[in-house]
Amino acid sequence: MSESPWIAVLAVILVACCGGIAIAVFLWHSRRNGRSDEAAMTELTRAQADAASRLEAMIGMLAKGQSQLAHSVNERLDSVSHRLGDSLEKTKQSTAENLQKLNERLAVIDRAQKNITELSTQVTSLQGVLANKQERGAFGQGRMELIVRDGLPKECYEFQYTLSNRLRPDCAVFLPDQRPLVIDSKFPLEAVTAYRDAKGDDARRQAAARVRTDIGKHVADIAQKYLIPGETQDLALMFVPSESVYADLHDGFDDVVQKAFRANVVIVSPSLLMIAIHVIQQIQKDARMREAAGRIQAEVGFLVDDVRRMSERVAKLGQHFGQANEDVRQILISTQKIEHRGTRIKDVEFTDEAVAAAVIPAPMLRKLEAGE
């Protein structure tokens, strides 16, 4: 669009040059033919005028073509600008949506990263807890207490319950006969971990012997300290707060588990302790139902006695009502008689003779007459 004026100027220059050349050729041709300079100049003037008109016409055509070209270029530029604007708007919207989705995914990734970080921190903390024997024992006791609290009412258990021998197990659950079921938490993690990590047959045998020794010691301590005849239940529970450790004991040391059972100590995992607590809950519920049924039966007996006494009293009241009815009937009969006699008296005609007869009875009159 900026090059069009320069093209028009170039065209004018070219036309002017061509006109000059044509004039020079015309003068040379006129002199050769013997014409005078005046005639040549006249023809030259006419030729210049003709060339000027043609040049003007050509400039008009160039201007018109330039205008049409500028209009076409402007239309095309407008169309291209419109399409480019639409494309940029769509690209902007698509970019904004993609950035929003990317931000959402980054937020999800950040949350996942935080969760992973927290989980790794918790795992590190758990490893630190499990590495310390005292903290490991506190962890096992805490997990056992949580299971007991979730399954039983507060009055049905007691932690660190003191027995008659002054010893205190981790938990005592009171059954309907009021003899506590002892639960003690043990966590033989070091021996079981050594057994898992043992390389070679000799190391494995030594680790297995260590597991048997540790479990046997725990079972013996529970049986000797917490099983008191007549005071506690004949069975005690040894709580192992890890399902994997419990599974290793049952898979590789079944003889130890059976020996513990013969000593009246049952080894339980968290899931088995939940089942045992649920069974105890049902036993206590059944005992409460039996107690309630006994109270209901006694109340029903009292109710039967009250109904019997009420029946006797109603019978006596019926006798009184019967006697009262008989008295009322006799009174009604007397009333009817009085009413009949009053009616007869009312119907009597009172003449002088009747009055005299009524005042002086006939036998009296005869008696007077005899006395005369």
pLDDT for 196-206, tens place per residue? 777 878 888 88
CATH architecture for the domain at 137-289: 3-Layer(aba) Sandwich (3.40)
Average pLDDT, the chain: 76
**Helix/strand/coil for 64:** helix
Cα–Cα distances in angstroms (integers) from residue 313 to residues 316, 318, 340, in the given order? 5, 8, 40
For residue range 80-108, list pLDDT tens digits in order.
Answer: 888 887 888 888 888 888 888 888 888 88
Query: Would you put residue 34 in left (φ > 0), alpha (ψ -120 to 50) or beta?
Result: left
Q: Could you give the CA distance from residue 153 to residue 278 in angstroms, rounded to a whole number?
A: 12
pLDDT band per the 50, 70, 90 thresholds, residue 32? low
- Report the pLDDT value the prediction gives residue 370, as an integer from 0 to 100: 41
CA atoms of 157 and 144, how far apart (whole Å): 12
What is the strand order of the sheet 180-185 is part of?
157-159, 171-174, 180-185, 236-239, 265-268
Q: How confident is the model at residue 360 (pLDDT cuts 50, 70, 90)?
A: very low
* Residue 150: C-alpha distances to residues 66, 144, 146, 156 (Å): 94, 10, 6, 12
pTM over 0.75, yes/no: no
pLDDT, one tens digit per residue, over 243-272 is 888 888 888 888 888 888 888 888 888 888
Determine what percent of the chain is predicted with pLDDT higher than 70.
76
Mean pLDDT over residues 43-56, rounded?
74
Token pair in block for residue 344: 């007869």
Res 27: pLDDT: 56
